Amino acid sequence: MKISREQMAENRLRILEVASRLFREKGFEAVGVAEVMKAAGLTHGSFYGHFSSKDDLIVQALAHALGQRNGASLPLGAYMEEYLSPHHRDNRAGGCPISGLAADTLRQTPEARAAVTEGVRAQIDWMSEKVEGPDADRRRRAIANWSAMVGATILARVIVDPALSKEILTETLAWIDDGADRQASAPAKAE
């Protein structure tokens, strides 16, 4: 029985969603094609109708997850609060693919790293538009804030001491807020 193009597209999307969640939860090496297909409710044999290899799936799942930009509809301050929250820290499978998979992606194909590069670039561009301050400082501040957010989330996830883990998130958000407060109160530079 032949399936429609619409059903093929729905199946592909389901595979991408399942794969991106499993990869974020367990890492690339711990997840096989058979596990992805079973979790998507599809046969292992149908995988190759959608992807040429597991490496291809990794690239496409990264691009899919990065394209979701969960929380990007929030104001920047609320987005940062959500990102640096215990809820996000504890939700590896549904959380940010950068903080969840950056280290694993180092050992993946150049195409996978390119997908991450585009996702990071889009995030920095989005934050540059939202952050306040003089145009010359906005991109620098967006890069610094995003880097601090990702790094804090990675550290908070790896630490077994719950109090220290939460402190890392809280203090990183306070540091970002202090920087925004300093920027807002700084005298304007003469052009």
State how many domains the chain has.
2
CA-CA distance, 40 to 176, in Å (whole number)? 39
Confidence grade of residue 82 (pLDDT, cut at 50, 70, 90): very high
N residues, the chain: 191
Residue 190 has pLDDT above 80, yes or no: no
Residue 65 has pLDDT above 50, yes or no: yes
Residue 184 has pLDDT above 90, yes or no: no
Whether 132 and 189 map to the same domain: the answer is yes
- Summarised one tens digit per residue, pLDDT across range 32-51 is 999 999 999 999 999 999 99
Residue numbers of the domain that contains 82 = 70-191
The residues, ordered by sequence, that sit 6+ positions from 106 with a Cβ below 8 Å of its Cβ are 113
* CATH classification of the domain holding 55: 1.10.10.60
Cβ(24)–Cβ(93) under 8 Å? Answer: yes
In this prediction, residues 146-170 reach a mean pLDDT of 98
In this prediction, residues 129-142 reach a mean pLDDT of 91
What pLDDT is attached to residue 133? Answer: 86
Confidence grade of residue 1 (pLDDT, cut at 50, 70, 90): low
What pLDDT is attached to residue 136? Answer: 81
Q: What percent of the chain shows pLDDT beyond 70?
A: 92
Whether 140 and 51 map to the same domain: the answer is no
CA-CA distance, 142 to 154, in Å (whole number)? 18
Domain final position from 68, 87, 112: 68
The model's pTM is: 0.88
Q: What percent of the chain shows pLDDT beyond 90?
A: 84
